[in-house]
Amino acid sequence: MDTPDTTPPPATPGSEPRTSYLEEKAFKARTLLVFGTITDTLAADVARRLIALDAESAEPIDMLVSSPGGHLESGDTMHALVRFITAPVNMIGTGWVGSAATHLYLAAPRERRFCLPNTRFLIHQPSGGAGGPASDIAIQAREIVKARERIARTIARQTGKPLEVVLADIERDHWLSAEEAVDYGLVSRIIENKAALRG
């Protein structure tokens, strides 16, 4: 009796290559993509990949970030893990890097923070939709103030800006172009290709 053919059918024109193939290539290239809204699901996925890449080698990991931000504590998780692992992480901003994504981006030391030419950055204080009894609203408001101060301290520490300047800047949405982000201390260098990253 003939054995059945288990070869997967060829991809149809215009279809996406298999996810596992792309993931394997990205892993071998030591590259992580953080695209879209930051959620606990995304943070868990990035955490697994960081730990796996760190266990594989102490060579640098390239993390490309294009995100409007999202859940602050999920950004905290990724920020902490970038600093926790042994392998250094090169942060590469592209598209836009905002809010909790900027917090993640600042996990790398300044000399390892890069961006592509058209990247925009957004720093601001955290926001929340407080609801419920007045006592719960007061608790949530206090927590937002604490988070605002923590974010401001991180930005100040990682950019060299005075804390009072950062606190004033994040009072409202503060947008920066790639060049402005370099001047502010968020970014070390604007690069146009991977060769410049290694240079």
Active site amino acids? 99, 124
**H or E element that contains 3:** none
Contact 100, 37 (CB under 8 A): no
Integer Cα distance of 150 and 110 in angstroms: 19
Number of H helices, E strands in the chain: 8, 7
Apex CA 10: angle with CA 7 and CA 15, to 5°? 140
**The pairing of beta strand 120-123 with beta strand 174-176:** antiparallel
Phi and psi torsions of 24, nearest 5° = -65, -45
Q: Which of helix, strand or coil describes residue 65?
A: strand
Q: Which of helix, strand or coil describes residue 95?
A: strand
- 20: region left, alpha or beta (phi > 0 left; psi from -120 to 50 alpha): alpha
